[in-house]
């Protein structure tokens, strides 16, 4: 079969891949998005800072409408019951001049908003097929489809997940690891309004994190020992609801669990490099770690933003080696620091070693007691690299800013 030619081919129709394809098409690139129909996803994502600004810039936040809930306060509570306990720390967006750090949204609602935006773009072709092969020449990459067709492109962006066939075809090495934990993910109704506050309880088995949704609803990411996780997900919904309320210390009153409940083992992965010949990795094709600290998709969307920016700067050939080197350099520090940060936080909760507990407690105590450190941490969380220099004006305008 003859091949079709596009400037950009994005492989993978998840949230990061679809956002990348939209971003390229909105920037004027002839783009093909190659992906089979996505499976339903009942989880939620807390979109923070730069992710919100990026999605707003490419027209997706408008499509979301009222489906997203503002994240105004993020609260950390030490619920380990250990001898050395950290004080409760509250991060308030108003302290750094924002109305909200970002917004929590159901992945299904975000996916629908992305699909609506994608359908409105003339330069974006959606190909519902699987990419099964990748080859390159000096002036283009060739993506092979399961149906035997081919797409040639100046640049291929692999957003095809942890098992990325494009990454494997390019021979990019990956290191994987596992944790002795599972994550239970569910949504629930509650009697008491959440007030746009997210609360993360740090327990001995991992974080137990409530994140607000519109109305009197919240999402929950509950990290637990695998044996207990298996028992919890098999409980009747009313019994599980009582356990969730107890673990929340009844801050939201009575709880009503929404089905389905999902459970999956925790693992992580990092790649030897984020680029290959005429290939860039974004999202979980390039990094994966547990659903802790709202980092996963936010890190992936920063990948999307960066590869689009680099391509615009190299408009005549967005897949040339110098452009891909700039992308690698732009993303390496952020990816490594966030991967290490999530790993250390998770392992610190599991550790019974007294010096580790002391270091964690002292760090959180410093954040609670010293406004400068707390504000630095908030700015870094919203926009990496802005801790000392302040939040960019464009981000403030797109995410929201308190005004007199």
pLDDT digits (tens, 9 = 90+) for 62-95: 999 899 999 999 999 988 876 667 788 899 999 9
* Right CATH for 3-67+106-175+268-352 from 3.40.50.2300, 3.40.50.620, 3.90.1170.50, 3.50.50.60: 3.50.50.60
pLDDT digits (tens, 9 = 90+) for 314-335: 999 999 999 999 999 999 988 8
User: Could you give the residue ranges of the DSSP H alpha helices within 248-353?
Assistant: 296-313, 321-350
Is the pLDDT confidence value at 18 over 90? yes
Q: Mean pLDDT: which of 119-123, 137-141, 202-206 is highest?
A: 119-123
pLDDT digits (tens, 9 = 90+) for 190-242: 999 999 999 999 888 888 999 999 999 999 999 999 999 999 999 999 999 99
Confidence at 357, pLDDT banded by 50, 70, 90 = low
Strand, coil or helix: 93? helix
Is the pLDDT confidence value at 41 over 90? no
Q: What share of the chain is helix, strand, coil (3-state, %, to 5)?
A: 40, 30, 30
Contacts 24+ apart (CB under 8 A), 117-121: 117/22, 117/58, 117/59, 117/60, 117/63, 118/18, 118/21, 118/22, 118/25, 118/33, 120/59, 121/22, 121/25, 121/26
pTM of the entire predicted model: 0.90
């Amino acid at each position: 079969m003859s091949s079709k030619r596009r400037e950009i081919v994005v492989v993978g129709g998840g949230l990061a891949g679809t956002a990348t394809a939209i971003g390229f098409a909105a920037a004027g690139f002839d783009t093909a998005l190659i992906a089979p129909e996505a499976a339903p996803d009942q989880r939620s994502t807390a979109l923070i800072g730069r992710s919100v600004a990026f999605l707003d810039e490419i027209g997706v936040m408008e499509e979301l409408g009222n489906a997203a809930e503002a994240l105004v306060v993020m609260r950390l509570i030490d619920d380990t019951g250990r001898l050395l306990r950290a004080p409760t720390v509250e991060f308030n967006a108003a302290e750094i001049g924002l109305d909200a750090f970002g917004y929590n949204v159901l992945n299904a609602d975000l996916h629908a908003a992305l699909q609506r935006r994608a359908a409105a773009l003339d330069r974006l072709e959606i190909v519902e097929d699987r990419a099964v092969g990748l080859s390159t020449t000096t002036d283009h990459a060739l993506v092979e489809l399961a149906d035997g067709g081919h797409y040639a492109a100046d640049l291929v962006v692999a957003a095809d997940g942890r098992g990325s066939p494009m990454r494997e075809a390019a021979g990019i090495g990956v290191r994987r690891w596992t944790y002795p934990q599972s994550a239970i993910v569910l949504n629930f109704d509650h009697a008491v309004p959440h007030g746009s506050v997210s609360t993360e309880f740090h327990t001995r088995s991992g974080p137990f994190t409530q994140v607000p949704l519109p109305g009197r609803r919240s999402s929950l990411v509950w990290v637990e020992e695998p044996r207990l996780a298996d028992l919890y997900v098999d409980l009747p919904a009313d019994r599980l609801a009582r356990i969730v309320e107890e673990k929340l210390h009844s801050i939201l009153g009575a709880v009503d669990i929404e089905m389905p409940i999902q459970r999956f083992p925790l693992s992580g992965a990092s790649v030897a490099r984020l680029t290959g010949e005429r290939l860039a990795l974004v999202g979980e094709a390039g990094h994966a770690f547990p659903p802790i600290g709202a980092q996963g998709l936010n890190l992936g969307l920063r990948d999307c933003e960066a590869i689009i920016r680099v391509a615009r700067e190299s408009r005549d050939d967005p897949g040339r080696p110098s452009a891909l080197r700039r992308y690698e350099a732009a993303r390496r520090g952020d990816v490594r620091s966030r991967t290490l940060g999530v790993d250390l936080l998770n392992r610190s909760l599991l550790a019974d070693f007294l010096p580790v507990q002391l270091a964690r407690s002292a760090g959180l105590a410093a954040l609670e007691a010293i406004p400068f450190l707390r504000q630095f941490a908030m700015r870094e969380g919203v926009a990496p690299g802005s801790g000392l220099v302040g939040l960019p004006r464009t981000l403030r305008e797109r995410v929201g800013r308190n005004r007199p």
